Structure 1
Amino acid sequence: MTNLITESSSNIVNELLDDIKENIIQISDNFDQIQLNTVKPINITNLLEKKLLQNNERKDESNNLLSSSSSNGSNLESSESPLPLILMNKQIELIHPLEHQWSFWYLKNQQGKDWQDNLMKLAAFGYVEEFWALFNHLRVASRLPPSCDYMLFKSSILPCWEDPQNSSGGRWVLYFSKPEQVYLNLDVCWLASMLALIGGQYAQDTNYVNGVVLSARKSCDRIALWTSVHHDQQLIYRIGRRMRELINIPRQTHILFELHNQDTITTSSLINRKKSTAGCNKVIYQL
C-alpha cells in the first residue's frame, strides 16, 4: 500500500510539471489571471476525520446487514469483500504522501535585527494536498517585497549554509534580471522549482538536493537550488542540467553554481572555475 501511495503522489507532481513546462514560455504578462492551482487546498486533519466517520458509518451499516441477512439465511459472500477494497482505494485517492517532510520558511531582512530573528517558519507538510493548501495562501513570487525570501527545505535541514548538511555544498542560481524577465516568468519558475523538489524529480541525485530559495531584490530576483556537496563536478553538472530541464530555462540564460562557504573551495574547483557575468568570486561552475 505504501508503494501505491508513493507512486500516486509522484504521478501527480509529474503531470503538474509537464503542464508548467509546456506553458512557461507562452504565459502572458497578466499572470494573476492564470489559475495554476489545479489541486484544491485540503485540510488533511479534517479530511481524515471525515473519512474515518464515513468508514465507521459504513461498518455499522455492514454489521446491520450481516445480522439481518444471517437471520434470513442469506448468502453474504458477494457483499463482504468489495467494501474494504473500495475504502482503501478512496483513501489512496484522497491523500498523497511525499517522500520527505518539508518546511517552508519566510525571511524578511530588517536592519538592526539578527538573521535568526528575521527568519520565520510558516508551515511544515508531508502531503501533496498540504503543499497546495499552503501555496494557495501565499503571496505569489512576483509580489514578494524586496529583501524578502521564500525558502523550502527538507524539515531536517535549516535554510542556512551553516547547517552541517549545507556547509560543504553550494547552489545553482537562476538570476531574473530585467532582460531575463522578458522570456522568463518568475511565478511559473518558482512553482516549477518547488514541485520538482518535493516530487523528487532529481532522480538518483535527489538526496544531494536540500532545498530551494526565492530571493526578491530590487535589482535582480533569483531562484537558488541548494545542494549538500560541491566537489563532485559530474554530480553538480547533472543536477544543474536537470534543473534547467525542469524549469525550462532558455539556452541564452546561464545558471551559475556558487559556493556557500568560500573556505571549502578546492584546487580542483579552481581549475574548473569559469568566468561569471555576475562577478561573484564564489562561482565555480556555469551552464
Structure 2
Amino acid sequence: MNQLQRLREEEESESYHDDTDETNNNNNRHKVSPGAGEHPLQYNYTFWFSRRTPSRPSSSQSYEQNIRQIGTVASVEQFWRFYSHLIRPGDLSGHSDFHLFKEGIKPMWEDECNRGGGKWIIRLRKGLASRFWENMILAMVGEQFMVGEEICGAVVSVRFQEDILSIWNRTSNDQTTTSRIRDTLRRVLNLPSNTIMEYKTHNDSLRDNSSFRNTKISL
C-alpha cells in the first residue's frame, strides 16, 4: 500500500472530469497489461459506473444495461493515472454508484463469481464517502485482506441522505473468511468499535429485490 501511495505522488494529473467514453472504447480494443517498468497489480481491476432513478425498480436486465464499464487497470501507475481523473464519490449527485471489480467479474449479484457470495455493508453519513472509498479500494488492490481470491470487488453507493460502502466476496457461507474481511475493513477504515456492519448474501438481495418489484406491480 505504501508503494501505491508513493507512486501516486509521482503521477501527474492531466484533467479532472467524468467523460470516460474514450477510455471505455480504448479498453475494449486490447487486453490491458502493465507498461514497461510499471508495478503490476496482483489482479487487473475494472471501474464501472451506474446511475438510475430511485423510484424505478430495476430488473437484472435493465440494471446490466445501466452499468458502464469505464476503465481497466493492471498496474499501480495505471491505477493512479485513472483514479486521478475520476470525480470523487462525495461530488456525485443523485442515485449513483462507483464499482471496482476484478477484471472479468461484473458488479451484479447474478455473475458466476458473485452468485454464491455476499457483501459487507457500511452506511455512512454524508461527507465521508470519498475518503472511506479511497481507503477501501487501496486496501483491496493492495491485497490487504489476505483471503486469497475471495474478494470480488467493492461498491460505493451515493444516496440522498446517506452513502453506502460494500465489499463483495465469493463465498457467503465461509464464516472464517467473512470475519477476516470484516476485521480488515474495520482496521483499514479505522472504524469505531461500535460501527454497525451488516453482511448480506446476494441470494437475499435477489429475493428482496424480487419482492420489491412484485409489490410495486401489485399497487
TM-score normalised according to structure 2 size: 0.75
Q: Distance in 2 between matches of 1:148 and 1:263?
A: 18
Aligned position for 1:40: 11
Find out whether 1:103 has 2:46 as its counterpart. yes
Find out whether 1:219 has 2:161 as its counterpart. yes
Find out whether 1:187 has 2:130 as its counterpart. yes
Give the % identical residues: 27
Q: Distance in 2 between matches of 1:222 and 1:154?
A: 20
Residue 181 of structure 2, aligned match among 236, 239, 243? 239
Find out whether 1:149 has 2:97 as its counterpart. yes
Find out whether 1:229 has 2:171 as its counterpart. yes
- Provide the secondary structure at the position in 1 that maps to 2:149: helix
Q: Distance in 1 between matches of 2:206 and 2:92?
A: 32
- Provide the secondary structure at the position in 2 that maps to 1:104: strand
Determine if contact 1:109/1:118 at 8 Å carries over to the other structure. yes
Shift in CA distance, 138/227, structure 1 to aligned 2, threshold 3 Å: same
Give, in angstroms, the shift of residue 146 of structure 1.
2.1
Determine if contact 1:177/1:221 at 8 Å carries over to the other structure. yes
Aligned position for 1:276: none
Letter in 1 for 2:143: G
More helix by share: 1
Residue ranges of structure 2 left out of the alignment (5+ in a row): 15-35, 208-219
Letter in 1 for 2:153: G
Q: Distance in 1 between matches of 2:168 and 2:205?
A: 17
Letter in 1 for 2:122: L
- Provide the secondary structure at the position in 2 that maps to 1:261: helix
Q: Over alpha carbons, which structure has the higher Rg?
A: 1
Aligned position for 2:20: none
4+ residue runs over 6 A deviation: none
Residue 64 of structure 2, aligned match among 116, 134, 146? 116
Letter in 1 for 2:72: A
Aligned position for 1:12: 3
Q: Give the alignment's Cα RMSD to 1 decimal.
A: 2.5
Residue 191 of structure 2, aligned match among 224, 245, 249? 249
Give, in angstroms, the shift of residue 116 of structure 1.
2.1
Residue 139 of structure 2, aligned match among 196, 207, 212? 196
Determine if contact 1:147/1:215 at 8 Å carries over to the other structure. yes
Letter in 2 for 1:197: M
Q: Deviations over 1:1-51 (max 9, x none)?
A: xxxxxxxxx6513xx3xx9xxxxxxxxxxxxxxxxx5341489xxxxxxxx
Q: Distance in 2 between matches of 1:213 and 1:219?
A: 17
Q: Figure out how many residues of one structure are paired with residues of the other and give that number.
A: 180
Q: Distance in 2 between matches of 1:125 and 1:136?
A: 13
Find out whether 1:133 has 2:81 as its counterpart. yes
Determine if contact 2:119/2:168 at 8 Å carries over to the other structure. yes
Alignment map for 1:40-59 (pairs within 5 Å) = 40-41=11-12
Letter in 2 for 1:105: W
Q: Distance in 2 between matches of 1:121 and 1:242?
A: 28
TM-score normalised according to structure 1 size: 0.58
Shift in CA distance, 263/245, structure 1 to aligned 2, threshold 3 Å: closer
Determine if contact 2:118/2:172 at 8 Å carries over to the other structure. yes
- Provide the secondary structure at the position in 1 that maps to 2:114: coil
